Amino acid sequence: MGNLIEYERVRKIYNSGSDEVTALEEVSFGVEPGEFVTVVGRSGCGKSTLLKITAGLLSTTGGTVRIAGNPVIGPLTNIGIVFQSPVLLAWRKALDNVLLQIESRGLNVAAYRKKALDLLELTGLRGFENKYPSELSGGMQQRVSISRALIHDPHLLLMDEPFGALDAITRDEMNLELLRIWSESKKTVLFITHSIPEAVFLGDRVVVMTPRPGKVAEIMTIELRASGRAMTRAPMESR
Strands (E), 41-76: 62-67, 70-71
Mean pLDDT of 59-68: 94
Residue 207 pLDDT class (50, 70, 90 cuts): very high
Q: Specify the pLDDT at position 1.
A: 59
pLDDT in tens, 101-156: 899 888 899 999 999 999 998 888 989 999 999 999 988 999 999 999 999 989 99
pLDDT in tens, 187-199: 999 999 999 999 9
Measured CA distances, 50 to 13, 150, 159, 169, 227 (Å): 12, 21, 11, 28, 34
Residue 33 pLDDT class (50, 70, 90 cuts): very high
Mean pLDDT of 177-195: 89
Mean pLDDT of 14-31: 89
Residues near 221 by beta carbon (within 8 Å), at least 6 away in sequence: 204, 205, 231, 232, 233, 234
Q: Specify the pLDDT at position 90.
A: 95
Q: What is the pTM of this model?
A: 0.88
Determine the residue type at 60.
Answer: T
Mean pLDDT of 169-176: 86
Residue 23 in 3-state DSSP?
Answer: strand
Q: Which of 55-59, 143-147, 162-166 has the lowest mean pLDDT?
A: 162-166
Ranges of each domain in the chain: 1-78+155-239, 88-153
Q: Which of 30-34, 37-41, 74-78, 96-100 has the lowest mean pLDDT?
A: 74-78
Share of the chain above pLDDT 90, in %: 61
92 vs 239, which has greater pLDDT?
A: 92
Number of Cα atoms under 13 Å in the Cβ half of residue 46: 28
Position 233 pLDDT exceeds 50: no
Position 14 pLDDT exceeds 60: yes
The mean pLDDT of the chain is 88
H or E stretch including 2? none
Determine the residue type at 81.
Answer: I
Q: Hey, what CATH class is 1-78+155-239 in?
A: alpha beta
Residues near 98 by beta carbon (within 8 Å), at least 6 away in sequence: 116, 119, 120, 144, 147, 148, 151
Q: Which 8-state DSSP code applies to residue 132?
A: -
Residue 186 pLDDT class (50, 70, 90 cuts): confident
Mean pLDDT of 9-13: 95
Q: Specify the pLDDT at position 229.
A: 43
